[in-house]
Amino acid sequence: MQYIIRRNEEYERDKEAQNIFTDKKGNQWEYLTRKEFLRLPEQERRISADMRKKDSGSANLLLRDGEVRRGLYQYKSKKKFSEKTIGYISVLPVDNTGEVTGDPSCVRILGKSAVKAYLVPILLLLLLIGLIAGGLWYLREDEIPGLDESAIAYHVEGLENTDPSQTLMPGISGFTMEAGSTRIEHVLYNPEGNPCYFKYQITLQDTEEILYESGLVGPGSAIMEFDLNRTLEPGTYDVTVLALTTSIEDGKSEMNRGAVNTTITVE
């Protein structure tokens, strides 16, 4: 099927309106806006074919404009996801001699939707990157079993390890707690810059009973309060706070440990 373009004076156009679509070969095609298209009689709004930037190469479905021949695409009501309707060309069907053989119809011009063609894939890519990053973070967390869930980010001004070959131990003062309770409100801190995790143990010096053991505490994190394994009678108890250290790389390789002798006062 071949078509020719209808002359503008054969239908109503907006005054001084001139909307041009340039195809891949540089040919320019004046088209109707959707508003102009909807002003056509209903029988003339029938879509006979589609035009895209690239010539279809079809020899059986052509749009003629003087010496220019343009291969069209079979019309499909459902556009591709990345496409949008740019406009319409009012056409007439003709035979090989140029004689009109039927009623007017339209060729729909389709182009790329910038939002769908570019923005959506970019958003999907960013979402994929986020999912991958989240997955890697989750896997990283799984690689280090035993992290203490109560540890939070914590910063002490001036207390930061600047030598990654060394481990900085924070000072620990005496603990106080209420009789009948197991809760102690005291900071157990792993200074920023340390190359290791800390696992804190608190033991009674006279019996070596372990009263408390934390999970792994990462550099720049701290436990703000914790519970002993049991209650203690009122009094003062000599205890040792031991910081067991493991490599930040795998959370398993043992490194140097530190110990501080202090007291628990139960009131």
CB 148, CB 225: distance < 8 Å: no
Parts of the chain belonging to CATH 2.60.40.2550: 152-266
CB 225, CB 184: distance < 8 Å: yes
Compute and round to an integer the Cα radius of gyration of the chain: 39
**What local confidence, expressed as pLDDT, does residue 234 receive?**
96
Average pLDDT, the chain: 88
CB 261, CB 240: distance < 8 Å: yes
**What local confidence, expressed as pLDDT, does residue 198 receive?**
94
Positive or negative torsion for Cα 40, 46, 51, 55: negative
Q: What is the pLDDT of residues 10-42, one digit of tens each?
A: 666 665 667 899 999 999 999 999 999 999 999
H/E stretch holding 127: helix 120-143
**What local confidence, expressed as pLDDT, does residue 5 receive?**
92
Share of the chain above pLDDT 70, in %: 90
**What local confidence, expressed as pLDDT, does residue 151 receive?**
94
CB 4, CB 96: distance < 8 Å: no
Please count the other Cβ atoms lying within 10 Å of the Cβ belonging to residue 73: 18
Q: What is the pLDDT of residues 174-233, one digit of tens each?
A: 999 999 999 999 999 999 999 999 999 999 999 999 999 999 999 999 999 999 999 999
**What local confidence, expressed as pLDDT, does residue 164 receive?**
82
Q: What is the pLDDT of residues 224-243, one digit of tens each?
A: 999 999 999 999 999 999 99
Separation CA 64–CA 96 (nearest Å): 11
Q: What is the pLDDT of residues 89-148, one digit of tens each?
A: 999 999 988 899 999 999 999 998 866 656 767 777 888 887 877 666 555 555 577 899
Q: Is this structure's pTM higher than 0.85? A: no
Say if domain 152-266 classifies as CATH 1.25.40.10. Answer: no
